[in-house]
């Protein structure tokens, strides 16, 4: 069984957003266009809106001073779910939606806490996906734990907007500094405090001084840094924004380059302020020296509306080629029957040189109302291509049905060129509609994506095959945040079957899905023989599959009730005398309103690339907010010529992947074969019981403060609920998910180019070092010859006793003999051991080590992260008394506690 998320703990109906272009703008020092969206599962509560307003207002002033008078929050929209009652002050949204919001308010990531966090998995300086606040965080007093909400919001905004990372590290809370002092991982080191271990039973805690770990030279596990409440340090917001004195980000002067935190790892030891000032926001922005404080933000309350969708389909003469009209109709029919959510209002327009409204809006219900629309799918292709006429007719179909075009969606599919498309750009902007575009084939109008980009719509490219179209339509689901009606793809496969031959396949149906399950088969010449068998042996044959009435060569079977959990088996036989293409598509929905389904989403790190800039493929696999680990995730990228590149994506914390085991699977894409549009498809599979669900907290979050030292006493907060190591993961069923990412465009690729000759080996980002006796042991993840692909030719390892010297002048550091070290295939674990030479090694000696990977063409990777190894001989342990048992005020024996020292 998949891990059960009980409804008492986890009521969210979550549609997890994918990468989006930020619609927030910064002009005249004010941020506009911020969207904070409340999930439909959150109960109506006026106080929630009041507290959001108060948080943002407080944050605006804090941000103003943190950015040295450069920025504040000017305009913010709060998106109210349809499930709440209407009020006169609620306005109609334009293109704002839950799945593209900057901030979401939804039930917890898991039942163990309400840590505010930012979904952030790009590279240094790249924007995050969204900030997540729980209702409980916004409605209860968390001041002792996180500090004022406004400060927390700025901490998360820095993740989201500027792509900087946290300056603490819960996995490595301490490190040995270059001055051989044990330091708390933090920025800046001027923040003072004490280090204690506390053992709590019910309402009683025993607190004592931290002991040394004889193996690491650091403090023992569970040692915690407790800050002094009274501080003089102003930095840093990315460490402890809760401290009253903290009001700034770490600068070059105050940044702690040694701390083993994600900021140093991801940003090459640069300070957070350095990254912020190099962001597009602040490169040409001057401080507002003329005012003491910014004006208060303006808030708009928007209430989500019923979903309105109009299909605008091309039936011009070029659609007759390569069966495009048939394939469009097959995909559109599948969308109307299997994908669009019940209760939606749907219309249809067809166009060539002119446009015709085939249907005004019709409400899709359970009683086959979709047939009123599918009956009007075009049967003949002729004429020219006028996209503007099609769009105008789409707007008319919506308005004639007494619906506003504001926030309505148009799905525009075309294969043709139209040099007049720009003439209606302004009308599209004024409509407030969301335009999703599907470019079919290599000749589709090149400005098509402009419509999606200006209206917050999705953009897809489909080659001439039916699967590409079906996959694109399947991704255009509700943007409201409710996931239980969302259709999920379990299978999407094209099979070229020879005459009179059988082909077999399997599809797992896991225990999170099974409602409204369809098996669909399409063909190019003649209907095949079909056999489908359930996990318990029930057979469905060709006669059970309903053939459409429009002669568009497809047949479907809707499984009655809830589809059986387990592996379904299908067999197809081509009875025709020629080989033909058959496709198999399987869609389903969540099993029940209390079981969150496993979801996969995919995207590239940007929508355009100019050769030879590499791109990154991202796929997120999750159940609710919980990452799914240990599965096979494969990306298929196809260009306009039909050339496909297949990439296995990794969640190993190396190469393009930011954090290991966070459910984000990543890989560099470098195999450019021509210019133009490219499509992205991702297949996530769990087989042979390898999948597991991570129950641990997200990265990039506001730190849960364990307590404070105040007036010589330790004031403890309630212990943070933790996931025990033995239940940190839960095994889940085998499953299969397919999803499409939005299309992207490549330019600048020269004829007959060889991308493998352009890119160097990837940077090593996870180098670790430790002493074993008098030798240093290294470990890291192998990069490739071409970023994270293939096998590098050699390694250059250098060592120094000076961190700064190694960082600033790697080539002058001492070279380690690596003649016997042969690089492994990319993604493999590398281990290497050596003895430091020509240097006296004694207790407390610290070495810094870094690596480069090379290839035969003299291309060399960036220098790796800098690893530290300290020779440590543990002293005899003194007896240490406990320091009291009162949870609210524990006497602090100053001589018994190690107070953090400065290193600068």
Residue 888 has pLDDT above 60, yes or no: no
pLDDT of 849 over the 60 cut: yes
Banded pLDDT at 337 (limits 50, 70, 90) = very high
Rounded Cα distance between 4 and 410, Å, is 37
pLDDT for 901: 29
For 633-671, the pLDDT digits (tens) are: 999 999 999 999 999 999 999 999 988 999 999 999 999
Measured CA distances, 529 to 41, 468, 526, 582, 899 (Å): 44, 24, 10, 11, 77
**Do residues 427 and 392 touch, judged by C-beta distance below 8 A?**
yes
Highest mean pLDDT among 98-107, 550-559, 873-882: 98-107
Which residue in the list 156, 235, 445, 742 is annotated as catalytic?
Answer: 156
Q: Which of 155-169, 750-764, 875-889 has the lowest mean pLDDT?
A: 875-889
889 has pLDDT over 70: no
Statement: residue 103 has pLDDT above 90: yes
DSSP H helices in 67-148: 135-139, 143-146
CA atoms within 13 A on the CB side of 686: 24
Q: How many Å apart are CA 489 and CA 587, to the nearest integer? A: 5
Rounded to whole angstroms, the Cα distance separating 155 from 128 reads 13
DSSP letter at 895? G
User: Cβ neighbours of residue 592 under 8 Å, at least 6 residues apart?
Assistant: 484, 515
pLDDT at 10: 29
Q: Quickly tell me which residue has 């009308």 as its tokens.
A: 427
**Which pLDDT band holds residue 11 (cuts at 50, 70, 90)?**
very low
785-826 pLDDT, tens digit each: 999 999 999 999 999 998 889 989 999 999 999 998 999 999
* Residue 204, number of CB atoms within 10 A of its CB: 10
pLDDT at residue 140, as a whole number = 93
> Where does the pLDDT of residue 242 fall: very low under 50, low under 70, confident under 90, or very high at 90 and above?
very high
> What is the average pLDDT score of the chain?
89
Q: What is the pLDDT of residue 539?
A: 96
Q: What is the mean pLDDT of residues 423-449?
A: 95
Quick one: pLDDT at residue 110? 65
Question: If you average pLDDT over residues 357-375, what whole number do you get?
Answer: 90
Q: How confident is the model at residue 885 (pLDDT cuts 50, 70, 90)?
A: very low
Tens of pLDDT, residue by residue over 62-71, are 999 999 999 9
pLDDT band at residue 882 using 50, 70 and 90 as cut-offs: very low
Q: What is the pLDDT of residue 723?
A: 65
Do 685 and 863 contact (CB within 8 A), yes or no? Answer: no
Question: How confident is the model at residue 897, as a pLDDT?
Answer: 35
Mean pLDDT of 494-512: 93
* Percentage with pLDDT > 70 across the chain: 92
Tokens encoding 265? 């790892």
Nearest to 797 by CA among 767, 827, 828: 767
Mean pLDDT of 481-495: 90
- Calculate mean pLDDT across residues 450-476: 92
SS3 at position 540 = strand
Once rounded to an integer, what is the mean pLDDT over residues 53-66?
Answer: 98
State the Cα–Cα distance between residues 457 and 434, nearest whole angstrom.
5
The answer, yes or no, to whether residue 444 has pLDDT greater than 90, is: yes
Q: What pLDDT, on a 0 to 100 scale, did the predictor assign at position 443?
A: 92
Q: Could you give the CA distance from residue 464 to residue 678 in angstroms, rounded to a whole number?
A: 13
- Indicate whether 349 pLDDT > 60: yes
pLDDT at 694: 85
- DSSP state letter for 339: I
Q: Are 238 and 250 in contact (CB under 8 A)?
A: yes
Task: Categorize the per-residue pLDDT at 880 as very low, low, confident or very high, splitting at 50, 70 and 90.
Answer: very low
Average pLDDT for 361-382:
90
For range 390-404, the mean pLDDT? 96
Q: Which domains does the chain have, with CATH numbers?
A: 25-166+279-303 (no CATH), 307-371+385-481 (3.40.50.410), 483-592 (2.60.120.380), 598-691+732-749 (2.60.40.1930), 768-871 (2.60.40.10)
| pLDDT band (50, 70, 90) for residue 891 | very low
pLDDT digits (tens, 9 = 90+) for 750-796: 888 777 788 999 999 999 999 888 899 999 999 999 999 999 999 99
Confirm if 782 and 823 have CB atoms less than 8 A apart: yes
Give residue-wise pLDDT tens across range 258-313: 999 999 989 989 999 999 999 999 988 999 999 999 999 999 999 999 999 999 99
| pLDDT over 80 at 22, yes or no | no
Backbone angles phi, psi at 796, to 5 degrees: -115, 115
Please list the alpha-helical segments (H only) found in 67-113.
Answer: none
Q: Is the pLDDT of residue 18 over 60?
A: no
Find where tokens 């109506």 sit: 44
- Give pLDDT, residue 878: 43
Specify the pLDDT at position 523. 92
Q: Which two tokens stand for residue 636?
A: 């298929």
For the beta carbon of residue 612, count every other beta carbon within 10 angstroms.
15
Nearest CA to 97 out of 83, 85, 79 is that of: 79
Residue range 666-701, pLDDT digits in tens: 999 999 988 999 999 999 999 888 888 888 777 789
pLDDT band at 124 (very low <50, low <70, confident <90, very high): very high
The predicted structure's pLDDT at residue 482: 82
- Going by pLDDT thresholds of 50, 70 and 90, the confidence category of residue 203 is low
To the query of whether residue 862 is one of the catalytic residues in this protein, the response is no
Dist. CA 744–CA 746, nearest whole Å: 7
Q: What pLDDT, on the 0 to 100 scale, is given for residue 248?
A: 97
Complete DSSP assignment for 95-118: S--GGG-SEEE-S-SSTT----EE
**Highest mean pLDDT out of 392-396, 655-659, 730-734:** 392-396
Print burial letters for 391-417: b (CB count within 10 Å at least 16), e (below 16). Answer: bbbbbbbbeebebebbbbbbbbbbbbb
Q: What is the mean pLDDT of residues 504-530?
A: 95
Q: Measured between alpha carbons, how far is 668 from 654 in angstroms, rounded to an integer? A: 11
| Three-class secondary structure of residue 841 per DSSP | coil
Residue 675 CB burial class (10 angstroms; 0-12, 13-18, ≥19): middle
Confidence of residue 886 (pLDDT cuts 50, 70, 90): very low
Question: H/E element holding 150?
Answer: helix 149-162
Residue 525: count of CB within 10 angstroms of its CB: 15
Whether 436 and 473 have beta carbons less than 8 Å apart is answered as no
Range in 345-349, 378-382, 900-904 with the lowest mean pLDDT: 900-904
Mean pLDDT value across residues 564-588: 95
């Amino acid at each position: 069984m998949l891990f059960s998320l009980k409804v008492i703990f986890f009521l969210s109906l979550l549609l997890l957003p994918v990468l989006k272009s930020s619609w927030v703008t910064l002009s005249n020092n004010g941020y506009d266009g911020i969207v904070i969206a409340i999930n439909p599962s959150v109960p109506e509560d006026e106080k929630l809106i009041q507290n959001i307003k108060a948080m943002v207002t407080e944050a605006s002033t804090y941000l103003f001073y943190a950015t040295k008078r450069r920025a504040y929050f000017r305009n913010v929209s709060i998106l109210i779910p349809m499930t709440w009652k209407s009020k006169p002050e609620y306005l109609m949204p334009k293109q704002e939606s839950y799945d593209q919001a900057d901030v979401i308010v939804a039930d917890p990531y898991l039942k163990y806490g309400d840590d505010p966090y930012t979904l952030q998995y790009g590279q240094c300086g790249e924007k995050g996906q969204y900030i997540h606040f729980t209702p409980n965080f916004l409605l209860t007093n968390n001041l002792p734990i996180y500090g004022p909400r406004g400060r927390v919001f700025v901490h998360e905004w820095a993740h989201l907007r500027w792509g900087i990372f946290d300056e603490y590290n819960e996995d490595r809370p301490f490190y040995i500094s270059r001055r051989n002092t044990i330091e708390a991982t933090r920025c800046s080191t001027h923040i003072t405090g004490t280090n204690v271990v506390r053992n709590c039973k019910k309402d009683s805690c025993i607190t004592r001084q931290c002991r040394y770990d004889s193996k690491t030279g650091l403090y023992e596990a569970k040692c915690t840094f407790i800050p002094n409440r009274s501080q003089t340090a102003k930095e840093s917001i990315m460490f402890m924004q809760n401290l009253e004195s903290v009001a700034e980000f770490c600068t070059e002067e105050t940044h702690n380059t040694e701390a083993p935190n994600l900021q140093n790892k991801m940003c090459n030891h640069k300070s957070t302020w350095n990254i912020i000032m190099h962001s597009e926001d602040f490169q040409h922005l001057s401080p507002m020296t003329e005012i003491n404080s910014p004006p208060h933000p303006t808030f708009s309350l928007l209430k989500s509306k019923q979903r309105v969708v109009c299909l605008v389909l091309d039936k011009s003469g070029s659609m007759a080629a390569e069966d495009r009209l048939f394939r469009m109709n097959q995909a559109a029919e599948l969308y109307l029957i299997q994908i669009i959510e019940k209760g939606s209002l749907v219309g249809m327009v067809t166009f060539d040189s002119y446009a015709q409204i085939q249907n005004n809006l019709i409400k899709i219900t359970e009683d086959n109302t979709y047939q009123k629309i599918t009956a009007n799918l075009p049967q003949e292709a002729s004429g020219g291509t006028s996209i503007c006429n099609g769009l105008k007719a789409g707007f008319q179909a919506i308005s004639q049905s007494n619906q506003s075009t504001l926030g309505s969606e148009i799905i525009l599919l075309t294969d043709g060129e139209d040099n007049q498309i720009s003439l209606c750009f302004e009308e599209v902007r004024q409509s407030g509609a969301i335009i999703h575009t599907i470019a079919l084939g290599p000749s589709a109008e090149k400005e098509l994506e402009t419509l999606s980009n200006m209206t917050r719509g999705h953009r897809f490219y489909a080659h001439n095959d039916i699967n590409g179209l079906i996959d694109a339509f399947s991704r255009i689901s509700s943007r409201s945040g409710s996931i239980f009606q969302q259709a999920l793809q379990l299978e999407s496969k094209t099979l070229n079957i020879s005459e009179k031959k059988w082909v077999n396949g399997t599809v797992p149906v896991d225990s999170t899905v099974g409602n409204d399950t369809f098996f669909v088969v399409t063909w190019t010449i003649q209907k095949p023989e079909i056999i489908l068998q359930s996990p318990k042996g029930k057979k469905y044959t060709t006669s059970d599959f309903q053939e459409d009435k429009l002669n568009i060569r497809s047949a479907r079977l809707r499984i009655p009730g809830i589809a059986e959990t387990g592996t379904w088996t299908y067999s197809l036989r081509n009875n025709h005398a020629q080989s033909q293409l058959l496709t198999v598509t399987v869609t389903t929905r969540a099993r029940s309103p209390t079981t969150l389904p496993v979801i996969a989403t995919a995207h590239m790190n940007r929508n355009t690339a100019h050769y030879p800039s590499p791109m990154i493929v991202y796929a997120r696999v999750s159940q609710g907010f919980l990452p799914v680990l240990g599965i096979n995730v494969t990306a298929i990228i196809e260009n306009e010529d039909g050339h496909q590149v297949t990439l296995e994506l990794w969640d190993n914390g190396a190469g393009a992947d930011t954090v290991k085991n966070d459910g984000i699977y990543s890989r560099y894409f470098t195999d450019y074969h021509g210019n133009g549009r490219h499509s992205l498809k991702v297949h996530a599979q769990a087989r042979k019981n390898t999948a597991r669900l991570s129950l641990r907290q997200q990265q990039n979050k506001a730190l849960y403060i364990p307590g404070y030292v105040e007036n010589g006493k330790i004031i403890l907060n309630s212990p943070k609920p933790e996931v025990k190591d033995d239940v940190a993961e839960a095994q889940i069923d085998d499953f299969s998910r397919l999803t499409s990412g939005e299309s992207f465009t490549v330019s600048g690729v020269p004829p007959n180019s060889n991308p493998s000759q352009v890119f160097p080996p990837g940077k090593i980002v996870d180098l670790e070092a430790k002493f074993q006796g008098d030798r240093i042991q290294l470990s890291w993840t192998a990069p490739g010859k071409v970023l994270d692909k293939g096998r590098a030719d050699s390694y250059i390892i250098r060592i120094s006793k000076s961190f700064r010297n190694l960082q600033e002048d790697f080539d002058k550091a001492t070279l380690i003999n690596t003649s016997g070290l042969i690089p492994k295939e990319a993604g493999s674990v590398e281990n290497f051991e050596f003895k430091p030479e020509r240097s006296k090694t004694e207790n407390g000696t610290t070495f810094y080590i870094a690596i480069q990977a090379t290839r035969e063409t003299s291309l060399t990777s960036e220098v790796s992260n800098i690893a530290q190894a300290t020779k440590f001989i543990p002293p005899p342990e003194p007896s240490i008394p406990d320091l009291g048992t009162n949870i609210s005020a524990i006497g602090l024996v100053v001589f018994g506690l190690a107070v953090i020292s400065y290193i600068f």
